[in-house]
Amino acid sequence: MARAVLAYRLVEEEGETLATVDRSQERLTEAVDRLESRVGAVEDDLDAKIDDVRSRVVQVKREADAKAPADHDHPALDERVDAAGSTATEALAELDRLDERVDRGFENYEEILTYLRETTDDLDDDVDRLVRTLVDLRERTATLEATLARRTAAADLQREANRHGVTQASCGDCGSTVHLGLLSAPRCPHCDRGFTGLEPARGFFGSATLSVGDRPALAGETTDSSSTAEPRQAGDDD
């Protein structure tokens, strides 16, 4: 009974762990998808703004260069034109530096996304292993339940026999003698029919009989009872 309880607890714990991992994996996948979408949108927006600013600066520089007098010498205007040109050049250089920083930043985002994707793949592998472990544990639990149920049914039959002072009885199907104290399952060791109860002997010279019939299948049992039942020990015919 203690082993069955332990198996139940293990199945429940594995089931809860698997559900938690599934939820974590779903949240991680959704977060990665949202991050990819936001990064793509920000990258497109920054590219558009940088291109717009660059074109405006170039336009200002060209206009400043075009305003330089061809026939007249105006030192003040020359200084303003030179200053505007220098400012435009510095702005273009700053934009180039900003563009490089943005590119490096997005490369870092790509590394993070790659890491998250790899982590998600690792979680997939962990989930697969958990599923296989859980299936195996459930099969073992079902087998343990069937074994426990067989032993319990055999013990109930033996207690009934003890109440009637019976140590051996005839199988109601094949008529073979069965030693009740050696049964590990409520089945005939000779014909493999299942026992459903004990009929005490009638009369002084009569013998007890083990009634047979189809009993409900136990959890973990297959249609071939010999493949799941434990080895039985029973007496031979008298």
* pLDDT given at position 232: 40
What tokens were used for 177? 């003698």
HSE, CB side, 13 Å, CA atoms: give it for residue 227.
Answer: 5
DSSP for 64-93 reads: HHHTS-SS---HHHHHHHHHHHHHHHHHHH
**Interatomic CA distance for residues 226 and 222, integer angstroms:** 9
Beta pairing, strands 168-171 & 177-179: antiparallel
Place of tokens 């099969």: 139
The dotted CATH code for 2-146 is 1.10.287
Closest C-alpha among 21, 4, 10, 3 to residue 135:
10
| Per-residue pLDDT at 127 | 79
Look at residue 114 in the predicted model and tell me its pLDDT: 77
C-alpha distances out from residue 178 to 161, 188, 220, 230, 238, Å: 12, 7, 26, 17, 9
pTM of whole model > 0.95? Answer: no
CA atoms of 87 and 81, how far apart (whole Å):
10
> Which residues in 63-94 are b (16+ Cβ under 10 Å) and which e?
ebeeeeeeeeeeeeeeeebeebbeebeebeee
pLDDT of residue 227: 38
List the domain boundaries for the chain.
2-146, 164-228
Q: What is the mean pLDDT of each run of 10 residues along the chain (238 residues)?
A: 54 58 66 69 69 72 63 58 66 70 67 77 80 86 88 90 90 91 90 90 80 66 42 41
pLDDT of residue 179: 92
- The C-alpha atoms of residue 225 and residue 189 are separated, in whole angstroms, by 12
pLDDT recorded at residue 59: 74
Task: Please give the pLDDT value at position 174.
Answer: 92
